[in-house]
Chain A
C-alpha cells in the first residue's frame, strides 16, 4: 500500500516545484493586465486560460503556490518551534503544575474556533500574509504540544530513560537526546498534516480577503474573484479550486503514507 505515499509525494512535489520555479520564471508577468485577452479558455499560449483582467492563470497559480506554501510552512514552523518544547516540558514534568499549566493553556486555545480567531487577528491588525501566518501558527502550537506530550509519555517509562537518569542527566537533556529523536516520526507526520491544513486555512483567509493582499496572487483570492463569473467562465474558478484540493489531498496522502512507513510497529523487527 505504498501507492498513497507515492501519489501524495507527486502531488505535493508539483506544488512545491511550481512555487520554486515561480521565483525564477513564470510564463507571464502576474501583474501585467491584458484586458483584450480576458477570460480566455485554455489554449497553447495560456495553458489554463486567463482571468477577467487577462492575467495568465498558470502564472498566478505558480506565484500563488509560493504564497500558500510560505504561509503554511512558517505557520507549521511556529507551531513546532513552540509546541514541541512545550510538549517535551509537559511530558518531562508529567503530573506536576507545569504539565497542568501547559496542557490547560492548550485546552484554552483549542476551545476557540480557529478560523474565527484568525479572522479576528487579521481584522484587528490588518489583513496581510504575515498576520495570516501568525493566526494560523498560534493554532498549530497546541496540536504539536499534544502530539509531543502523547508520544513522549510512554517513552519516559522505559528503562533507557532510567539509565540516562542514573547517568545523572537532567530531564531537559534527556528530552532532547533520547525523547525527541524517538518521536521525530510522529512529528514529521503531524507536520505534513498541519501543513495541508495551513494551506487550506490560508486559502480560506484569502477568500474572505484577509490573507495576502493584491497584487500578490493567492489561491483563495483567485477563487473569490472568480466566483461571480463561474457561469460564464467556469475554468477561472475551477482551476485554483483544483489546485487547493489536489495539494491538500497530496499532503494528506503523504502524511498518512509517512505514518505507515515510519511506524516502527510496521517495520520488520530483526
Chain B
C-alpha cells in the first residue's frame, strides 16, 4: 500500500504540488488526469524520489508506513525498480538502443535480485512472454530498433514489472501510440494489475482512456487534486467546476460551418509517391517503398476535409506532396486548376494559395525570430506590402492575440498561443486552402476546444478550405464535412464525416473506431 499525505513540492518560491493525497491500493488502477503543467508527472517523480534538485518536498509518501521522502538515497535505489516500477510516454527513448531487450530486462533483476545472469535471462524471458512478446518471434537477442513503438512499450512494461513491484507508475504510456496499439497496451496493463495484484497509477491527459480502465480517478489542476473518487461516480457527478470544464472541452465540437461552393479547389489524381530504401547489400538494387499508392481526393472551395490514419499510413508523405515539397512518381495534383510541382518549378502565386499549420507548437517557429517576422514570412510569396506590420497586427488579433505580441519571441508563449500564431502565419496571405497537419493533437483539451472554435470561426469569415490531417477520429468529428481514411498508402474509405464515424463500411475504419477509447454516453451529468 502506497499513499501520499499532504504531499507538497515547491521549486524556489513557486508551489508545484499542493497537499496531494493519493491512496494507491493493491489491485486497483488510479487514473491521474489533468492538463499539462498541472503537476501529474511531478507527483509521480515525488513518489519515486526523483524530484529535480532544486525542488523542496514536504508531507509524506508512505510505503508500508515508511516515509519515502526522508529515506536516504541508497535505500531509495533499492526501492525504485523493485517495489515501484515506472514506464514513460516515449518508447523510442526509454530503452537503451545498444542493449538487447533480454539484457535490459535482466539488468533490473541482476541489480536488485543479485541473480546470476542465466537465471535473470530466464526470468526476463518469462516477463517478456507475460507482456505478449513470445518466442520464437521475439527472441531475447532483439534490439529496440527492431521493434515497433507498441512492442517497445511492451518491453518497457516488462522491465518495469520484472520484479513484481507493488506500484507501477505509467506516465502517458499510450500517448505516443496509435489507437489500435493503445487499446492493446491498455488491455495488457489491466490484465497485469488483475493478475499480479499491483497498484497502477495511470497518468494521462485523456479522459476517455481513464473512463475505460481506471477504478478511481483523481483530477489535478494547478498542482492540487481538485476531485477524487470512484471513476463512474466521478464522471456522473462532476462536482468540481474544473472537472466539468474538462469534460465539456473533451466533447466539444464547434458549430458547423455550411459549405456553399462546389467548385473543386484541390484535386489529387492517382498520386503515387515512392521512396528508395537503403540497399540490403552492396550491389542489390534499392528496394522501393510505396508510401502513397494511387490516392485520389478532391477538396471543394471552402470545404473542410479530414484525412485520418495511423502512423506510417502515408498521410504525412501525401501532405508534403500536396504542399509542393516533394515530387510525385505518378499521378498529379492540381490546385485551383494549376499543377502543383515540387520545389522551384511551382510559381509563388500558386504557392500563396495554400498554407500549413504543423503539429508541434515548439518546433514550428525559429526561436531567434520575433513574432512579427515569423508571421510575415509567407509574404515572401506575394511581396511584402508596405503596411505589413498592420497586417501582422490584424492577423494576431484575428486569432485572439494582441498586436503588441508582435515584438515578442516565441518562447514567451504557451503551446496554445503558439498554435494561434501558427494559424496567424498561415492566414496572413489569405490562402484558399490551409493544411492542418495534426494541428491540435499536441494541445490540452480546453485549449484544443478553443483552437477548434477559432478554426471554425475563421472558415466562416474567410471561406477557405481545410485539409485536416489527424490520427484521431474524435478530432475530425467536429470540424470536417467529409473524411478520408488512409491505410498503408491507400484511401480505404471516404464519405461524409458523420456517416463514416457512425456506420464505417471498411474493416479498417471499423477497427479504428472500435479501438478509440470513449467515455460511455450514459455517464454524462444530467
- Asked whether A and B interact, the reply is yes
Binds A, one of B132-140, B228-236, B364-372, B507-515: B364-372
Q: A162-B356, A166-B351 are in contact. Are A182 and B367 (CB under 8 A)?
A: yes
B366–A182 touching, CB < 8 Å: yes
Interface residues in B314-358 (C-beta closer than 8 Å to A): 323-325, 344, 346, 348, 351-352, 354-356, 358
B348: which A residues are within 8 A, CB to CB?
A: 168
Interface residues in A181-237 (C-beta closer than 8 Å to B): 181-182
B352: which A residues are within 8 A, CB to CB?
A: 168
Q: With A163-B364, A166-B323, A166-B324 given, name 6 new contacts (CB 8 A).
A: A159-B363, A166-B378, A167-B380, A168-B351, A269-B411, A270-B412
Q: A159-B364, A160-B363 are in contact. Are A170 and B344 (CB under 8 A)?
A: yes
A165–B377 touching, CB < 8 Å: no
Q: How far is the CB of A205 from chain B (nearest CB, A)?
A: 39
B368–A167 touching, CB < 8 Å: no
Q: A164-B377, A170-B344, A269-B411 are in contact. Are A181 and B356 (CB under 8 A)?
A: no
Interface residues in A121-163 (C-beta closer than 8 Å to B): 158-160, 162-163
Measured CB to CB, the nearest residue on chain B to A173 is B380
Interface membership of A52, Cβ < 8 A:
no
Interface residues in B380-419 (C-beta closer than 8 Å to A): 380-381, 411-412
Separation of A264 and B411 alpha carbons in the complex (Å): 12
Provide 13 A-B residue pairs closer than 8 Å at the C-beta atoms, listed in order of the A residue: A160-B364, A160-B365, A162-B358, A163-B364, A163-B377, A163-B425, A165-B325, A166-B323, A166-B325, A166-B378, A167-B381, A181-B366, A182-B368
Interface membership of B360, Cβ < 8 A:
yes
Separation of A152 and B359 alpha carbons in the complex (Å): 22
Interface membership of A178, Cβ < 8 A:
yes
A264: which B residues are within 8 A, CB to CB?
A: 367
Q: Measuring CB to CB, which residues of chain B are less than 8 angstroms from any residue of chain A?
A: 323-325, 344, 346, 348, 351-352, 354-356, 358-360, 363-368, 374, 377-378, 380-381, 411-412, 422, 425
Q: How far is the CB of A159 from chain B (nearest CB, A)?
A: 4
Interface membership of A94, Cβ < 8 A:
no
Separation of A167 and B376 alpha carbons in the complex (Å): 10
Measured CB to CB, the nearest residue on chain A to B359 is A159
Q: How far is the CB of B414 from chain A (nearest CB, A)?
A: 10
A167–B377 touching, CB < 8 Å: yes
A163: which B residues are within 8 A, CB to CB?
A: 356, 358, 364, 377, 422, 425
Interface membership of A104, Cβ < 8 A:
no
B358: which A residues are within 8 A, CB to CB?
A: 159, 162-163
A182: which B residues are within 8 A, CB to CB?
A: 366-368
Measured CB to CB, the nearest residue on chain A to B320 is A162
Most buried by B among A163, A164, A182: A163
A160–B411 touching, CB < 8 Å: no
Separation of A264 and B362 alpha carbons in the complex (Å): 14
B323: which A residues are within 8 A, CB to CB?
A: 165-166
Measured CB to CB, the nearest residue on chain A to B348 is A168
A270: which B residues are within 8 A, CB to CB?
A: 411-412
B356: which A residues are within 8 A, CB to CB?
A: 162-163, 166
A181: which B residues are within 8 A, CB to CB?
A: 366, 368
B367: which A residues are within 8 A, CB to CB?
A: 182, 264
Q: How far is the CB of A88 from chain B (nearest CB, A)?
A: 16
B344: which A residues are within 8 A, CB to CB?
A: 170
Q: How far is the CB of A157 from chain B (nearest CB, A)?
A: 9
